[in-house]
Amino acid sequence: MLKVKDIGEFALIEHIAKIVEHADERVILTIGDDTAVVKPTDLDYILLTTDLLVEDVHFTLDTISPWQLGYKSIAVNLSDIAAMGGLPNYGVISLALNPKTNVSTVEDLYRGMADVSRKYDLRIVGGDVTKSDKMIINVAIVGEVEEENLCRRSDAQVEDIIMVTGELGASAAGLRIILNPGLRSKVKDADRLEKAHFLPEPRIREGRILAKLGIHALEDISDGLASEIKHICEASMVGARINLSKVPIARGVEKVAELTGERAIDIALSGGEDYGLVFTAPIEIQKEIEKSFAGIGIKVTAIGEILDKSQGITVVDWSGNVKPLEISGYTHF
Amino acid sequence: MLKVKDIGEFALIEHIAKIVEHADERVILTIGDDTAVVKPTDLDYILLTTDLLVEDVHFTLDTISPWQLGYKSIAVNLSDIAAMGGLPNYGVISLALNPKTNVSTVEDLYRGMADVSRKYDLRIVGGDVTKSDKMIINVAIVGEVEEENLCRRSDAQVEDIIMVTGELGASAAGLRIILNPGLRSKVKDADRLEKAHFLPEPRIREGRILAKLGIHALEDISDGLASEIKHICEASMVGARINLSKVPIARGVEKVAELTGERAIDIALSGGEDYGLVFTAPIEIQKEIEKSFAGIGIKVTAIGEILDKSQGITVVDWSGNVKPLEISGYTHF
């Protein structure tokens, strides 16, 4: 197998440039000069986000394929753009590689990046390639949004309803199967759950619809629903109450929970990387939101309401008891 | 000493946010939401660049201080913006850290980043913090430039003169002293040479002056003068001839070369990371360039000329002999 060290930096960059090429009148100069040169964004504000993934910290090549890794590394950044109500524009990728990496591995990685980028109209216009023992991927993305459509984490208002798109827990349940392959044969939905973990879809379209409908706070569910609700409440200086019986749990999560001795609702609340959207909205537009989402065939569910800060952040369980929401989303260090 | 793992991710991000804060009417939302939100750029084009630095590949904390590392990591990206004739605007920083890293080390790193950013009007508006064994720093920068001032690598024209700003070889000579501290006491200019290596200055102002004067191709000297000239010639499909006796060699390089058994001119031609500018320009504006640079107290020197591609890339040595230019700049893998 041809290795990166056999072809060298410049030939590798040429391979990559061909794979991610996105001929477009917005791109003036792409890979090959000191910087990429692109047309300015059209809308009121630029959105800027970046994300660093390190082998054996965030992923291991034993379980995820290079194509999936490329797809996911871009998708999670696009999800941050969706969480502002915005649109993606341009991306730059840094990659550090062990020189013994197969060239085909690198090509598959960038094919995954190129595929998700084309799907969501992101132009990969530059980057950096260097060496290291472990693979390192950094993605930085420029997006844009209109002033009136910008959805801040701090925009939640007392009496807003809290809603989520899609269903929860699939990615976390998928991860449990990936880490414990013995579970796979026992879970009918294993493939779908693993796919939810490896290939999250950024909810750009949904974010745009919600922003234009006039919702308030918006987040993507990257760290787990409970954590995201806490983020919204802290930033907006409000409280919240979640009705556990309303939380939509993905098919198969119940079965995985049964096998791992957990509760499905805990996987749904604390499991990260679902990359659906959680948002708050005035109750007056709930029907309109539901109608819009029915129109695109995406589930949207009201799961609770925003309360005064003094009420704290609580859940109502199946017996009607009110308890504090436990936060167990992912944190580093 | 307080460690990163003692204070956790969120407290660390709060520390960082305070250090890099750059209150500014262009910054709508900074660290703390899914993305940073900033005002759009004003000029015709956006410039986008990114750079990944990995501990023990690109730096070792045994020789560079955290403050210097922060300064340099931003400076080298700003240098890429300078090399397009542009102005910097916004930056996002990804950092991976060993959880045992001292909090004070991280603070010093970001102080270095903040200091160079304020100096060159770059706003650090977001980022990502995560863990890894080795320290990893990724910088991504958004800049801007007018269409008429954009200086491409491919803009060199036959009969252009080739000029460089500043003097060459200081950074590479400094690196030799850093890696072989026994040399230090023997080199009077050791401090200045080491500083050239640790704290390069991005030539934003010089790049802007040159772009507005109507120069052609422009590069920053990151990979060594010989490599940069080769890049320009390949991209512009031209040849070049460099007059070795004209290449301005920094004070102290000669002494280091004597001690390491090298030739000073080789250190000047192949030593990377000088971060001066090399450019080509119509001979008609040479005087104007020299006058402008005299006005700001920066040296600028004509070192050769652009020739037809058929002439190849050559040097004229002190005896008047013409020989091929040897390329030995840094490449990865």
- Which stretches within chain A are classed as H helix? 4-20, 66-82, 103-119, 170-179, 190-198, 204-213, 225-236, 253-260, 264-270, 286-296
Q: Where in chain B is the domain with CATH 3.90.650.10?
A: 151-324
What type of residue sits at position A153?
R
Instruction: Establish, for the pair of chains A and B, how many residue pairs have beta carbons separated by less than 8 Å.
Output: 222
Confirm or reject contact between A329 and chain B (CB < 8 A).
Answer: no
Q: In what order do the strands lie in the sheet with A45-54?
A: A123-131, A87-97, A136-145, A45-54, B36-38, B27-29
- With CA atoms as reference, the chain B residue closest to A52 would be B94
Distance CA B166, CA A29 (A): 28
**What pLDDT, on the 0 to 100 scale, is given for residue A332?**
66
What residues of chain A score a pLDDT lower than 50? Answer: none
CB B210 within 8 A of CB B218: yes
Of B37, B51, B94, Cβ closest to residue A47: B37
**What pLDDT, on the 0 to 100 scale, is given for residue A330?**
57
Distances A283 to A242, A279, A310 between C-alpha atoms, Å = 15, 12, 21
- Provide the shortest C-alpha distance from residue A253 to chain B (in Å): 27
Q: What is the architecture of the domain spanning A4-148?
A: 2-Layer Sandwich (3.30)
CB B218 within 8 A of CB B83: yes
How does pLDDT run along chain B (333 residues), one tens digit per residue? 899 999 988 889 989 999 998 878 899 998 888 999 999 999 999 999 999 999 999 999 999 999 999 999 999 999 999 999 999 999 999 999 999 999 999 999 999 999 999 999 999 999 999 999 999 999 999 999 999 999 999 999 999 999 999 999 999 999 999 999 999 999 999 999 999 999 999 999 999 999 999 999 999 999 899 999 999 999 999 999 999 999 999 999 999 999 999 999 999 999 889 999 999 999 999 999 999 999 999 999 999 999 999 999 999 999 999 999 987 655 667
- Provide the shortest C-alpha distance from residue A276 to chain B (in Å): 14
> In DSSP terms, which residues pair with A315 in a beta bridge?
A242, A323
Distance CA A48, CA A77 (A): 10
Confirm or reject contact between B178 and chain A (CB < 8 A).
Answer: no
* Contact residues on chain A for B40, CB-CB shorter than 8 A: 40-41, 43-46, 144
Q: 3-state DSSP helix/strand/coil percent for chain A, to nearest 5?
A: 40, 25, 30
* Contact residues on chain B for A35, CB-CB shorter than 8 A: 47-49, 80-81, 83-84, 86, 143
Query: What are A49's two structure tokens?
Result: 């986000």
Q: Where in chain A is the domain with CATH 3.30.1330.10?
A: 4-148
CB-based contact A52 B136, cutoff 8 Å: yes
Distance CA A196, CA A174 (A): 7
- With CA atoms as reference, the chain B residue closest to A127 would be B50
The terminus-to-terminus CA distance of chain B in angstroms comes to: 37
Distances A320 to A41, A243, A308, B218 between C-alpha atoms, Å = 49, 9, 20, 69
Q: Which of B45, B151, B333 would best serve as a mutation to test chain A binding (most A beta carbons within 10 A)?
A: B333
CB-based contact A83 B34, cutoff 8 Å: yes
Distances B27 to A48, B38, B47, B93, B122 between C-alpha atoms, Å = 11, 5, 18, 16, 11
Q: At what angle do helices A204-213 and A66-82 cross, to 10 degrees?
A: 10
Which ipTM was obtained for this model?
0.94
Query: What are B205's two structure tokens?
Result: 């102002």
SS3 category, B106: helix
CB-based contact A83 B44, cutoff 8 Å: no
CATH class of the domain comprising B151-324? alpha beta
Distance CA A119, CA A111 (A): 12
